[in-house]
Amino acid sequence: MKKMPDSADWLPGVTHPGQMHHLLGILESRIQDFDQIPLPCPSMNTPSPREISRRKFIRNASLATAATWTLGGRSWAADASPPAAAPAPVKKLGVALAGLGGYSTGQLRPALQETQFCQLMGVVTRRPEVGAQWAQASGFPEKNIYNYDTMDQLAGNPDIDIVYVVTPNGLHAEHVIKAAKAGKHVICEKPMANTVAECDAMLAACREAKRTLSIGYRLHFDPYHQKMVQLAADPNFGPFTKMAGENGFTLNGDQWRIHHPLSGGGPLMDMGIYVVHAACMAANANPLAVTATEHAKTKPDVFVDVEEALDWTMEFPGGAVATCQTSYVKNFGHFHAEGAKGWIDFPSAFGYSGIRMNTSNGPVTFPPLRQQAAHMDGIAQAIMAKKDSPVPGELGRRDMVIIEGIYQAAASGKRVELKYA
Ligand code: NAD
């Protein structure tokens, strides 16, 4: 884990350590072109056995926390724990990471050193030499290195059970469909795709292959966000009727995130999606309608075909409303929800670590948790138990319906009613 500086004044605009954790998390995922960077010595990312046991204990405690949310009238459980009497797994499920960029390198590979139910067994990459470095560092055979044109050959490889697609958004559909056609379960990073139509094709491919499709919603496994869902459902505390959230960072440099074909949009697709998702979790419902306003661009030469910043609202059944903002020119990550009986406030809401939560009953604190390990283990356990994914593709599609509605509202200046079917 990263050692945080004690003082919070090392970056302008950063006023507390939680914000720094949030920023560091974002920065880790933003470092570009990791495919060109030699892998560090494997021991660099290896926590001590004591640290691993502590994290496993914390993660199991977190996975045992039951929380549910609804999607299309159906209830989805955040509790990804196995049946009480489940024996220890005989074999961990094999994961192949497709796309070895910032998120795979900085977050998923270290998390796969801690997972109990799955392990890194292969990669899909455009650079065979980088694949070979990963194979050597992680101890899987070089036959498990694929490129995007040879993904069909995954079909004959029993080492790989799950393909985790971590490529630019505009490539998710192509890569998820290839993995499903090769007979593999799939995890796809957020946002699920560039369009709802692509989501439908991905869901159909996984259905046809009889394989599960899960989304990279790591916060479903975070104890603070699970606590929010619990409090929303608690008649002595919830429901929440007013929500407000912001999420963004200052994007620098030319990268796929600002090119519409690969990104599908600007900060809404990348950072705003967390606020969309959190608002639905806090409201325990899907929004009926949205309104949106795009900010005037301060850097029109950078954000040519994607938005620079955006405000939007989400209207939920029963009159609950969420007021939201996202940006590529501002560092923030806050979420607030309140009702007649209580409120919650996350000064730092969406980071990989450093999440903080205050409530009208006082602050809430959980021990640190590697979200990505809990996320992948939760999905692996569901696959082993032949249960629905705790973060199914349908949830990713739901968020893309909302995002498409927000873009439509921003373009038209009109309130847009959302249709999920
Ligand atoms: P990145 O740019 O660091 O990595 C992208 C990877 O895709 C690179 O390895 C690149 O080589 C590969 N790639 C394959 N084909 C490509 C092509 N045609 N053009 C460009 N790159 C190509 O990006 P990232 O930050 O790792 O993001 C990847 C995905 O993960 C995105 O969908 C992003 O939204 C998601 N993500 C999720 C989180 C999270 O917290 N859940 C955090 C960061 C990123």
- How many whole angstroms separate alpha carbon 291 and alpha carbon 314? 7
Decide whether any atom of ligand 1 lies within 6 Å of the 271 Cβ.
no
Nearest CA to ligand 1 atom 1: 101
Cα(124) to ligand 1 centroid in Å equals 12
Residue percentage of the chain with pLDDT more than 70:
79
Residue 186: pLDDT above 60? yes
Decide whether any atom of ligand 1 lies within 6 Å of the 189 Cβ.
yes
Cα(23) to ligand 1 centroid in Å equals 18
Q: Among 167, 172, 188, 218, which is best to mutate for testing ligand 1, by the most ligand atoms less than 8 A from CB? A: 167
- Cβ neighbour number for residue 64 with a 10 Å cutoff: 10
Cα(230) to ligand 1 centroid in Å equals 32
Cα(156) to ligand 1 centroid in Å equals 26
Cα(82) to ligand 1 centroid in Å equals 31
Q: For residue 8, what is the DSSP state?
A: S
Return the half-sphere exposure (C-beta side, CA atoms, 13 A cut-off) of residue 306.
27
Q: Kindly give the number of the ligand 1 atom that is closest to the alpha carbon of 262.
A: 19
Total residue length of the chain: 421
Cα(233) to ligand 1 centroid in Å equals 35
Predicted pLDDT at 91: 86
Cα(375) to ligand 1 centroid in Å equals 18
Which tokens go with 108?
A: 């998923």
Residue 74: pLDDT above 60? no
Query: pLDDT per residue over 327-365, tens digit each?
Result: 999 999 999 999 999 999 999 999 999 999 999 999 999
Predicted pLDDT at 399: 98
**Residue among 99, 118, 105 nearest 44 (CA):** 105
Decide whether any atom of ligand 1 lies within 6 Å of the 131 Cβ.
no
Decide whether any atom of ligand 1 lies within 6 Å of the 166 Cβ.
yes
In sequence order, which residues have a C-beta less than 8 Å from that of residue 294 and are 6 or more positions away? 307, 308, 309, 310, 410
Query: pLDDT per residue over 272-296, tens digit each?
Result: 999 999 999 999 999 999 999 999 9
Cα(118) to ligand 1 centroid in Å equals 21
Q: Among 32, 189, 399, which is best to mutate for testing ligand 1, by the most ligand atoms less than 8 A from CB? A: 189
- Identify how many contiguous H helices and E strands the chain contains and give both numbers: 13, 17
**Residue among 411, 347, 399 nearest 16 (CA):** 347
Decide whether any atom of ligand 1 lies within 6 Å of the 335 Cβ.
no
Contact 120, 112 (CB under 8 A): yes
Decide whether any atom of ligand 1 lies within 6 Å of the 171 Cβ.
yes
Query: pLDDT per residue over 356-407, tens digit each?
Result: 999 999 999 999 999 999 999 999 999 999 999 999 999 999 999 999 999 9
pTM: 0.85
